[in-house]
Structure 1
Amino acid sequence: MDRENNIDRRVKKTRQVLKDALISLMAEKDFSNITVQDITRVADVNRATFYSHYHDKIDLIQKIAEENLSELNEILMKRSDGFRSYELLVEIFEHLSEHSEFYTIMLSSNRFPRFWKRLYTIFRNATNHNSEIFDSNDSIPQDILNSYILGAYFGVMIQWIKRGMPYTPKYMAEKLASIKTVI
């Protein structure tokens, strides 16, 4: 059993080193110019090791994206009070901050439109899961209000990432939570 745990730890560590290598390379140059050889050089592993975990660099970036988006989706779907919750907003901003280099790279380029769409879809699905993000008065249909708030929150989060996350996750959550009282 202990041997299995050691193998699992080594596999996890190797995968993490490869992911980190790709992300750091993407901060330096365009994804299309990165080779598997570049990734293995930065990660300090051989090509056979890379191919034992991933088919190619596209498979690697897709796995990184899937892991981060799945984690974000879990955060969004576990709460029933939707975007009304300060605690949820803190969790969202902390997740974005924890994976800041990845999100900064993916969102600062137009080269990954499917990623943008997936990210927005995760937020959209969360609003559908929690159909009433904010209380609506009778003059504004709930679906219109939800779309408006989703667009505003999503835009604020994207700009926060693109500007280098100048405020703490708690500060951002506090400010977004206070906006709902203005609307």
Structure 2
Amino acid sequence: MPKVDRRIRKSQEAIKSAVTELMAEKNFDEITLQDISDKADVSRGTIYLHYEDKYDLLDKLIDGHMNELSEICQSVSDLDWKESIIPWFTYLEHNYLFFSTMLASKGATQFRNRLVEYLSEDFKEEVHLSQARKSGLSEDVILQYVVMSYVGVVEWWLKNEMPHSPEVMSEQLGALIKMNLG
């Protein structure tokens, strides 16, 4: 992969930060490219050099974070539930504004859907191998229960301004998942 010029990377980061900050203030549909341009202190032309429109910008912003979460999951795949969740919550903590904005914004329901879809894929194997399915429960129902519970806990944690450390969240969520998946 070619190395990205420092000025380009700086402009892209300013644009991404600007759209996240603006979404914390108002609905995504109300945000204009001029708003993003002003907040990022770049020209609209600079935005168009990197993104087709504000929807492409949002998609790429979401893709970037989903890719990071995926890399975290792959790097901790050999750890137990409790230990594997700490890096996830640490990443959420470091990117609090983005995730809290995405999960709270009416204009970003696609993010929540993408998160649910991602977690469904990630947890599918665990549910398939779980003891819970031996009890006669549907794997689809178990998967939905675990994924929606996980997303709900993440939303609660962010909405309440992270009242517990990533380690505490990992310990508690890991215990709950293990209890449900056997």
TM range (shorter): 0.7 to 0.9
The Cα shift of 1:61 comes to: 1.0
Q: 1:147 to 1:81 in 2, by over 3 A?
A: farther
Q: Tell me, what secondary structure is at the counterpart of 2:135?
A: coil
Unaligned runs of 5+ in 2: none
* TM-score normalised by structure 2 residue count: 0.83
8 A Cα contact 1:81 1:133, kept in partner:
no
Per-residue CA deviation, residues 80-130 of structure 1 (Å, 9 max, x unaligned), is: 458x42221101111211221111111113333322211101101011244
Q: 1:171 to 1:139 in 2, by over 3 A?
A: same
Match for 2:108: what amino acid? F
Counterpart Cα distance in 1 of 2:135 and 2:155? 30
* TM-score normalised by structure 1 residue count: 0.83
How many positions carry a matched residue from both structures?
Answer: 178
Match for 1:96: what amino acid? L
Counterpart Cα distance in 2 of 1:180 and 1:23? 31
Q: Tell me, what secondary structure is at the counterpart of 2:114?
A: helix
8 A Cα contact 1:104 1:162, kept in partner:
yes
Match for 2:94: what amino acid? E
Identity %, equivalent residues: 33
Unaligned runs of 5+ in 1: none
1:157 aligns with 2:160: no
Q: Tell me, what secondary structure is at the counterpart of 1:153?
A: helix
Counterpart Cα distance in 1 of 2:10 and 2:81? 35
90, 93, 97: which one pairs with 1:97?
93
8 A Cα contact 1:77 1:129, kept in partner:
no
1:169 aligns with 2:166: yes
Q: 1:142 to 1:173 in 2, by over 3 A?
A: farther
